[in-house]
């Protein structure tokens, strides 16, 4: 079984809409006259790096109040290579930092860490970040495929416009897709409820497959088709009054599908005006399915 650190558990909690608020230690030392203001963004090398109340191992580790309460045993706030930090200042061989990505850790994950664990981002000529082995969390199941995973994740980040925000620490082997000779992997793009997985196989990476974002049907075309469908199912098509503003909702998903929901008024077989709800699902080529039901 894959072992998760608390930062990964927090990521999963937020993806499902749960708030992992953690109390910051009140006695954490701030930047002072003896420190040097820096204001730089860094990635992190390693894992389980303790965050302390001051610049040195003689200062206390900051207690992770939420995890301690949940697991009934003392846990400390740590950082690993799944986060990006902002260095407020440095003092000797120590840095005063706060986590900036993922953003839901920014209020709790603040304090002092040894500067040796911080590193700059690697950027290519186009200005995109290049991920290296230090950005991933490999275990015994994925370590043998690390070159394929690193290459695949970098391709997805470069080629999929919806994967500007990509969670390298989430990259793992799929348990339901692929085969022993051609395993399939996935990585999570986006944050919270807008996150989605992109799958890629060993053969995809070797064949240099492009991982462009799925195209969506235009919103105006989808609305027109949905309204046309409503009229085709009405007893009196000319009586259909389709809501294009008040009740209209449009939602695009990462797999290239778009769902339009709305309501419309139409006369039934008894010539009485009835309000109905409609839901239309599209891919880039057109309507896939639609459902109509009377509103309650």
pLDDT tens digits for 218-230? 999 999 999 999 9
Residue 4 confidence (pLDDT)? 47
Beta strands in the chain (DSSP E): 36-44, 49-50, 78-79, 84-91, 94-101, 110-114, 118-119, 122-123, 129-130, 166-178, 183-189, 196-201, 241-242, 249-252, 258-267, 273-283, 286-294
Among 222, 196, 194, smallest CA distance to 284 is for 222
Which band of pLDDT confidence, cut at 50, 70 and 90, is reported for residue 9? low
Concatenating the DSSP letter of every residue in 168-218 gives EEEEEEEEEEE-SSSEEEEEEESSGGG-EEEEEEHHHHHTT---PPPP---
Asked if residue 5 has pLDDT above 70, the reply is no
β-bridge mates for residue 172, sequence order: 186
Residue 108 confidence (pLDDT)? 86
């Amino acid at each position: 079984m894959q072992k998760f650190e608390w930062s990964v558990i927090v990521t999963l909690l937020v993806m499902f809409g749960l708030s992992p608020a953690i109390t910051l230690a009140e006695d954490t030392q701030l930047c002072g006259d003896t420190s040097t203001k820096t204001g730089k963004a860094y990635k992190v090398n390693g894992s389980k790096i303790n965050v302390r109340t001051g610049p040195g191992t003689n200062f206390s580790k900051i207690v992770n109040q939420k995890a301690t309460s949940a697991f009934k045993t003392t846990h400390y706030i740590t950082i690993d290579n799944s986060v990006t930090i902002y260095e407020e200042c440095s003092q000797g061989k120590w840095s005063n930092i706060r986590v900036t990505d993922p953003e839901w850790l920014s209020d709790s994950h603040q304090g002092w860490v040894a500067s040796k664990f911080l590193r700059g981002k690697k950027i290519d000529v186009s200005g995109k970040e290049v991920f290296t082995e230090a950005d991933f969390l490999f275990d015994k199941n994925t370590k043998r495929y690390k070159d394929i995973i690193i290459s695949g994740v970098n391709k997805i980040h470069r080629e999929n416009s919806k994967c500007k925000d990509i969670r390298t620490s989430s990259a793992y082997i799929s348990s339901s897709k692929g085969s022993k000779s051609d395993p399939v992997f996935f990585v999570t793009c986006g944050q919270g409820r807008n996150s989605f997985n992109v799958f890629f196989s060993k053969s995809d990476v070797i064949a240099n497959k492009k991982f462009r974002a799925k195209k969506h049907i235009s919103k105006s075309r989808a609305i027109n088709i949905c309204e046309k469908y409503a009229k085709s199912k009405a007893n009196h098509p000319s009586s259909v009054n389709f809501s294009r503003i008040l009740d209209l909702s449009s939602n695009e998903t990462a797999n290239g599908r778009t769902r339009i929901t709305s309501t419309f008024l139409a006369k039934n077989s008894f010539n009485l005006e009835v309000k109905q709800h409609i839901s239309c699902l599209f891919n880039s080529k057109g309507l896939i399915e639609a459902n109509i039901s009377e509103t309650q």
